[in-house]
Structure 1
Amino acid sequence: MNGFAAAAAAETSGNFQRARELYLQLLQTEPRNAAALHRLGVVELRLGRSGEAVALFQKSLAIAKNLEVYLDFGVAMAGLCRWDAAATVYAAALRVAPESVDARYGLALALHSQGRPQDAEPHYRRVLATHAHLGEVHNNLGVALFSLGRTAEAAEAHREAVRLDHGDSTAWGKLGVALHGLGQVGEAEAAIREAAGLAPQIVENWYNLACLLDADGRSEAAVAAGRIAVALDPAGPANWLALGNAAQAADRRQEAWRAAAAAVRLTPSDPAARNNLANALRSLGRLWDAVAEYRAALALQPDFPVAEVNLALALSILCQPEDALTVLRGLIARQPLSSDAWLRMGRVLVEAVRPDLAVAALRTAVAIAPGDPEPHADLAMASTMCDRSAQSAEACRRVLRLAPDHTAALGQLIHQQRALCDWRDLDRLEALLLQRVRDGADGVSPFELLSCDSTLADQQAAASRWAAAKSRDAIPAVRPAVSSVDRCLRVGYLSSDFREHAMGHLMVDALETHDRSRFAITAYSTGMDDGSALRRRFERSMERFVDLRRHSDADAAAAIAADGIDILIDLTGFTTFSRTAILAARPAPVQVNWLGYPGTLGASFVDYILADPAVILPGEEMFFSERVVRLPDCYQPNDRRRAIADATPSRADCGLPEDGFVFCCFNSSYKLTPALFDGWARILTAVPGSVLWLYAGNPQVAANLRREGEARGLDPRRLVFAPPLPHAEHLARHRLADLFLDTLPYNAHTTASDALWAGLPVLTRRGTAFAGRVAASLLLAVGLPELIVDGRDDYEVEAVMLARSPDRLRALREKLARNRPTCPLFDTPRFTRNLETAYRAMWDIHRSGSAPRHIAIAADGTAGPVETN
């Protein structure tokens, strides 16, 4: 056996060290033996001596241009990741052997690895032209095509790869990614799961599966896949990011935070990881920590719009609107066409109660992204705050054209059309809204159901879903231990309406008359200071008046808890500027829904609702998430000091006829309905010369109602409209009316109290829900039950009879005048003593360790349990 043969035999047997010795011996005698130089280079490569191998290949090629040497030389360069050199070598090989498939494929791989997929593609295709059975080549062609954005072609290439080799897990995985890019989620998932089944140890498959499932909204399944990915490769930051994103979507907040924190530890200089960590911290209520992480992300990448918008959101939640606006202005200065930035700016301005500026910002967002429903929806809300109901309604219609299932926009459209008395298509819209509530849709504001023909069950369902959504991010407040020596019950009143507002007029006297020897009263204001005399009166009448408007929900709850409040009463409910998340944090051991919202809050974190026997009937407790506490007379307080201007305007001053019966209704326009107006038209027709005096702060309301009146055969002059006036003057003009006609399904509440206080009888029709029974409660408490009717026909007949019976109407006025000084409705000290009895009963139940239960306060001021079916 000659020297070369002996060396080759050793190489073939795997004895590379012996082969090396023999090739070296041969080359000492034959230094230009090209074959020996080539094989020694291969042996050196096998022994991990790449540098020596490269030198030997070069020497061999200098003697003879041999294809096999080029191919092994190319492998050596690829092994060193010197793709440019590998490409040069393979190109040289093709000059020697243009038909070499190996050289062609090697060149394709080298070009692809250099980031030149467009140059690699034709070489892959040349290989496949003669060797179409090579699944690996199809797979690599697919990878190149995918990176070139030719996703459909990539998917076909990967399909061919798995057809040729069904067990190729890599090809299955790449096929899944391509199909996901095409939006074929089901097929993509099947392909990725096939890859994971064939190669469960490959982390890429689980990472891709986690991303696909998360994008498809299946967050729990995505979390499971993400956990496998991080278990297989805990050092891979992308796996932690995928797990964190899935956990965040699944509302697994602690796990999302841990995953995001792990990603940041692994790649502290990655701004995207910092942004994700900040998002996780924000969802945990750690807002200042979130702000720090957003700022860290922006320090790493100053031009990072997503982080800037998120930072503005966190600052807004922290009630730092100016800081949030500064961030957004900087972003908009660089990217004036960022719809996300303009949208967030609009939201910040809405939360800061600067609606005019919010409208301007949101109009810009709409102009930039006219096909996105969210800017239109926010524009609708901001327009409402500016009393631009027509603009709000049009924005809602645009939302519904873009997103027909947008239930919140549907509800708001209905409310704005009601506010405008624009009743076109209203019956159909309301029926659609109620059906969505009954189908379990989210996003329906419970307040918007009160004016619809909704049931107590409808209202409870909508309230429960609304409360759950509003309280989702609430962080439990830490309460101090209750002092055993402090016998004074600490009561907190939470409201956005300690100002010139209907609730303010009702509440102020009751708060002033609390027994300060037994109750310590704190007002927690979350609304604006309007500078009114009523606001100053609230501030003077409380032991403590705490302005929480600039506090975040979490900080506000923490402040209330730190004060050791025993019973917290929410006076806002689901009306404008409500802060449900404060209640959700449970800052007080006993929490009560009262006065601001006539219905259940549907929340597990509210224990009681204050009512009376007229507004919540026996047996209806099941429709209230709270336990019902019935006060003996009326659930509504009143202000005995409510001023009525001395001067009464003339009928001519108010546009009323000197003669003729004046029916009036000063309710908000959204409480008027087409069916109600039908009845009013029949009443006016039956009482010649009569007029209907209505409140209309918006000129469009008057125009619409005149049109509706004409459609019912009424002379438009029989509708007279009252403009806004200061409260004392508004009360004084009630003296010009003869009878107040109430609305249904949403009664007059404060408006009815105003009328009765001013001496004007109110005719009401009793409804089927809390909001439709308030006027009946008021009339019972003022001693005028004869003005309560149950049916539509009875209501219309009674209105006509009273208009035709001046003596009877005069007797009612005289009875109201006699009752007013002593009746329960306006006996605020009596009301407050009953209220305090209710608070004591609630507290005694809590202190005993018992669960909240229904309570009835008797006329003698004692409290007792209520038996329910």
Structure 2
Amino acid sequence: MTSFTRAVAAENSGNLEEARARYLEVLQAEPQNPSALHRLGVVELRLGRPREAVILFQQSLAIAKDLEVYLDFGSAMAAMARWDAAAAVYAAALRVAPASVDAHYGLALALHRQGRAQDAEPHYRKVLATHSHLGEVHNNLGVALQELGRFAEAAAAHREAARLDPADAGAWSKLGVALHRMGHGTEAEAVFRKAVGFAPGDAENWHNLTCLLDATGRPAEALAASRVAVALDPASGRNWLALGNAAHAARRWREAWRAASAAVRLEPSDPAARNNLGNALRELGRPQDAVAQYRAALDLQPDFALAEINLALLLSSLRDAAGALAVLRGLLARQPANGDAWRRLGRVLAEAARPDAAVAVLRNAVAIDPGEPEAHVDLAMAAAMAGWSAVSVTACRRVLRLVPDHAAALGQLVHRQRLLCDWRDLDGLEARLLRRVREGAEGVSPFDVLSCASTLADQQAAAARWAAAKARAAVPTARPQAVAAAVAARDARLRIGYLSSDFREHAMGHLMVDALETHDRSRFAVTAYSTGIDDGSALRRRLERGIERFVDLRRHTDADAARAIAADGIDILVDLTGFTTFSRSSILAARPAPVQVNWLGYPGTLGAEYVDYIVADPIVIAPGEEGFFTEQVVRLPDCYQPNDRRRVIAEATPTRADCGLPGDGFVFCCFNSPYKLTPALFDGWARILAAVPGSVLWLYAGDPQVAANLRREGEARGVNPGRLVFARPMPHAEHLARHRLADLFLDTLPYNAHTTASDALWAGLPVLTRRGTTFAGRVAASLLRAAGLPELIVDGQEAYEAAAVTLARSPGRLRDLRDRLARNRPVCALFDTPRFARHLEAAYREMWEIHRAGGAPRPITIAADDTGGPISALQGEGEAT
């Protein structure tokens, strides 16, 4: 036996060190023996010394071009992950043996590992042309085709691999990935589950299943699958990333944070992990930490659009509009066709109270991606904020063509058409909206439901879902210990905080200012927390002067605002905005005060577990209706609405001609917002006008389209367009003065006149109302009762029309009503602010005493003591005392 033969025998038996020694003996005798150089190189490679092997292969090939040497040389390069060199070696092998299957396969793998899937494909196909039974090659070809975006061909390749070996879990898993990319979710899931069944211990299969379940909106199942993947391979950052995504979708914020933190520890240079950690921190109420993670993601990948958008939205929520706009404009400078970035820019501008600019930006978003419904939703909202109701209507209709059951767009469309008095298809739209509310749809603004023919149950259901959504991002806030200690040691005054976005020239401001000024400062420390704009008006300045503390929280985040209120040691926080425009109910959701109250701004329940009481009276919430209010009902004895004894009426009365009114004839008027008008109401008004010859109906119309639509509706009911007169917006004192030209205010239903009714009564104009079935439909009745004019409250449409006609034909009776209203104004409960303040303060005292005694909130009725001050009476569950 020769030395070479003994070397080969040792190599074949696994005695590699002996084989190495024998081959060296051969080469000592024959330094140019190509076979010995080749075999020694193979031994060195098997001994884990690829560099030595490479030198030997090169020496062998310098002597003789042998295919086997090339193949082993290529393997050595692959073992060192030198894929470029491996590709060169296999290409050289193919020049020696063009038909070599091994060389084609080696070259395919080397090219593929370099990211050259397109170059690898023909070599995989060369192998399969003669060796179609090789499932591994089919799988690798399928992976290359997926990378090339040819998912149908990839699925075919993986399907063939699975046919060749039905127990090949890898083939099934890769087939599932291709099917998922093709949008065949149901089949992809079945395939992934088959892969899991064949290889339940393979984390990759569970990871793939997680991604599919997450993408198809099944967070609980995705969470379960991702937990298995992490348990099987806890060292994989991508598994933790998938777990974090699933936990985020399931709203399990702490688990999402832990998973994202693990992904960052394992893959600190992965920008996606940083972005996900930012998302989790944002949801946990740690916005500054989230900003740092988004910025870290962008440091790693400056063109990471998703992280830029997340950062911009968070900066906007932190009231850093300038920072948010800079981020988004930078993104759009690089990607001007990024519709999502345009949409987010529009949202930031809207949140920064720049709705006109938002509309312009959102037009770009919908032009780039006209099939994206949320872009049209945002355009509708921005246009509504800008007062462009027609643009908002068009956008809402586009949303509903794309997503017919889009509840938020449906509610917005109903409200916007109401604002325009565009009643085409309105009955059908309202019926659809109420059906969606009753089906449990989320996203419907409760305010949009109030002016529909909704029930108390409908209003509570819509409010509860809205309130719960607002609470999701709220960070619980407690009084700091130092504040708690200071509260215990302070004076005996009760700390009342009023929260509103409307401390300005606004109906709420006009109603509240006198009551705020009249609070007994020896017993109550009052703070106003303003979250709205400073409009520079005289009313704003009066509010600032008339309140003990006026705090501007407009630029505070909801969390920071809640912390500020808690730090002030507020005992009772009263929300004056509710779910109207610019609501900040997430502040309430953080529970900054031990007792929280819904009052005045929103005529209905907030449906929020974090609000304890609603201030009402016996008319607006009738006995027995308490179950439709999530809050406990507090009934004041006269009227829930305060008024300003000092509101100014301009001395000069405009002429009828100035206001477009005829020189004579009876003037019915309604200065309510147009959204409170309904087709059925207008039917009745048309009949009233027909029954009172020469009369006119004077309506408020800030938008010319409102007037045009109402004239059209009037003509359809036989009303001469000249009998409809439209009032333009004007300063409040002058607006009150023009009431002197009207004879009778006709109220609306299902949503009454509220501030507009008290304005009319203050100006001396009688108001005729129908009593409705909800809070919003009974306010005018409450006002008239408190003003001493209960006979102007009727039940039913026929009685309403008959009363209007009778009063128009009875000038003496109407004059008596005016005279009585003039006599009552200085003394009636409606305009007796000190009396009102005493009742309200008694209610606050009762709320606080219940809380201080450790009791749960319960109904309260305040009974007036006309001889000195109010006394209070607590109610049992649903029972008046």
TM-score, with length taken from structure 2: 0.94
Partner of residue 786 from structure 2, selected from 781, 786, 790: 781
Q: In the alignment, is residue 868 of structure 1 matched against residue 871 of structure 2?
A: no
Corresponding residue for residue 547 of structure 2:
542
Measure, in 1, the Cα distance between the counterparts of 2:476 and 2:24. 79
The letter of the residue matching 2:585 is: T
- Aligned partners of 1:837 and 1:863 also within 8 Å: no
Corresponding residue for residue 164 of structure 1:
164
- Aligned partners of 2:858 and 2:877 also within 8 Å: no
Corresponding residue for residue 635 of structure 1:
640
Measure, in 2, the Cα distance between the counterparts of 1:524 and 1:9. 92
Shift in Å, 1:261:
2.8
Corresponding residue for residue 317 of structure 1:
317
Corresponding residue for residue 399 of structure 1:
399
Q: In the alignment, is residue 483 of structure 1 matched against residue 493 of structure 2?
A: no
- Aligned partners of 1:421 and 1:670 also within 8 Å: yes
Structure 1 runs not aligned, ≥5 long: none
Shift in Å, 1:457:
0.8
Corresponding residue for residue 107 of structure 1:
107
Shift in Å, 1:92:
4.3
- Aligned partners of 2:315 and 2:324 also within 8 Å: yes
Measure, in 1, the Cα distance between the counterparts of 2:63 and 2:148. 41
1:170-319 to structure 2, matched below 5 A, reads 170-319=170-319
Partner of residue 566 from structure 2, selected from 558, 561, 570: 561
- 1:144-195, Cα deviation, whole Å (9 max, x unpaired): 2111211110111001101111222221221111111111122222323333
Q: In the alignment, is residue 462 of structure 1 matched against residue 472 of structure 2?
A: no
Corresponding residue for residue 437 of structure 2:
437
The letter of the residue matching 1:837 is: A
Measure, in 1, the Cα distance between the counterparts of 2:14 and 2:354. 81
Note closer, same or farther for the CA distance 1:56–1:526 as it changes in structure 2 (3 Å cut): closer
- Aligned partners of 1:663 and 1:693 also within 8 Å: yes
- Aligned partners of 1:764 and 1:795 also within 8 Å: yes
Measure, in 2, the Cα distance between the counterparts of 1:544 and 1:461. 36
Deviates more, 1:602-611 or 1:824-833: 824-833
Q: In the alignment, is residue 331 of structure 1 matched against residue 336 of structure 2?
A: no
Note closer, same or farther for the CA distance 1:267–1:49 as it changes in structure 2 (3 Å cut): closer
1:407-806 to structure 2, matched below 5 A, reads 407-479=407-479, 480-481=483-484, 482-483=487-488, 485-806=490-811
Corresponding residue for residue 372 of structure 2:
372
Corresponding residue for residue 146 of structure 1:
146
Shift in Å, 1:416:
1.2
Note closer, same or farther for the CA distance 1:368–1:89 as it changes in structure 2 (3 Å cut): closer
- 1:685-710, Cα deviation, whole Å (9 max, x unpaired): 11111111111111211111111111
SS in 2 for 1:586: coil
Measure, in 1, the Cα distance between the counterparts of 2:58 and 2:556. 75
Note closer, same or farther for the CA distance 1:122–1:344 as it changes in structure 2 (3 Å cut): closer
Deviates more, 1:475-484 or 1:596-605: 475-484
Shift in Å, 1:535:
1.1
- Aligned partners of 1:54 and 1:73 also within 8 Å: yes
Note closer, same or farther for the CA distance 1:317–1:84 as it changes in structure 2 (3 Å cut): closer
The letter of the residue matching 2:274 is: R
- 1:196-229, Cα deviation, whole Å (9 max, x unpaired): 3433443333332332222222223333333333
The letter of the residue matching 2:619 is: A
Measure, in 2, the Cα distance between the counterparts of 1:304 and 1:750. 50
The letter of the residue matching 2:549 is: R
Q: In the alignment, is residue 44 of structure 1 matched against residue 57 of structure 2?
A: no
Measure, in 1, the Cα distance between the counterparts of 2:399 and 2:188. 32
Shift in Å, 1:502:
0.9
SS in 1 for 2:681: helix
Measure, in 2, the Cα distance between the counterparts of 1:708 and 1:613. 37
- 1:101-132, Cα deviation, whole Å (9 max, x unpaired): 33332332233233332232222222222222
- 1:467-489, Cα deviation, whole Å (9 max, x unpaired): 11222211111214241553210
Measure, in 1, the Cα distance between the counterparts of 2:99 and 2:641. 95
The letter of the residue matching 2:53 is: A
SS in 2 for 1:575: coil
Deviates more, 1:233-242 or 1:688-697: 233-242
SS in 2 for 1:20: helix
- Aligned partners of 1:346 and 1:358 also within 8 Å: yes
The letter of the residue matching 1:155 is: A
The letter of the residue matching 2:178 is: A
The letter of the residue matching 1:786 is: E
Shift in Å, 1:785:
1.6
Measure, in 2, the Cα distance between the counterparts of 1:164 and 1:180. 22
Measure, in 2, the Cα distance between the counterparts of 1:365 and 1:78. 48
Measure, in 2, the Cα distance between the counterparts of 1:337 and 1:117. 29
RMSD: 2.2
Shift in Å, 1:258:
2.6
Deviates more, 1:561-570 or 1:101-110: 101-110
Corresponding residue for residue 832 of structure 2:
827
Shift in Å, 1:83:
3.0
Note closer, same or farther for the CA distance 1:741–1:72 as it changes in structure 2 (3 Å cut): same
Measure, in 2, the Cα distance between the counterparts of 1:698 and 1:56. 90
Measure, in 1, the Cα distance between the counterparts of 2:151 and 2:126. 20
- Aligned partners of 1:591 and 1:607 also within 8 Å: yes
Structure 2 runs not aligned, ≥5 long: none
Report the identity percentage: 77
SS in 1 for 2:488: coil
- 1:16-69, Cα deviation, whole Å (9 max, x unpaired): 333333444455555555554444433333222333434444455555555444
Shift in Å, 1:598:
0.2
TM-score, with length taken from structure 1: 0.96
Deviates more, 1:733-742 or 1:66-75: 66-75
SS in 1 for 2:527: strand
Q: In the alignment, is residue 836 of structure 1 matched against residue 847 of structure 2?
A: no
SS in 1 for 2:734: helix
Note closer, same or farther for the CA distance 1:44–1:769 as it changes in structure 2 (3 Å cut): same
SS in 2 for 1:251: coil
- 1:326-379, Cα deviation, whole Å (9 max, x unpaired): 333333344433333332232222222222222222223333333322232222
SS in 1 for 2:293: helix
The letter of the residue matching 1:252 is: R
Measure, in 1, the Cα distance between the counterparts of 2:387 and 2:55. 84
- Aligned partners of 1:838 and 1:863 also within 8 Å: no
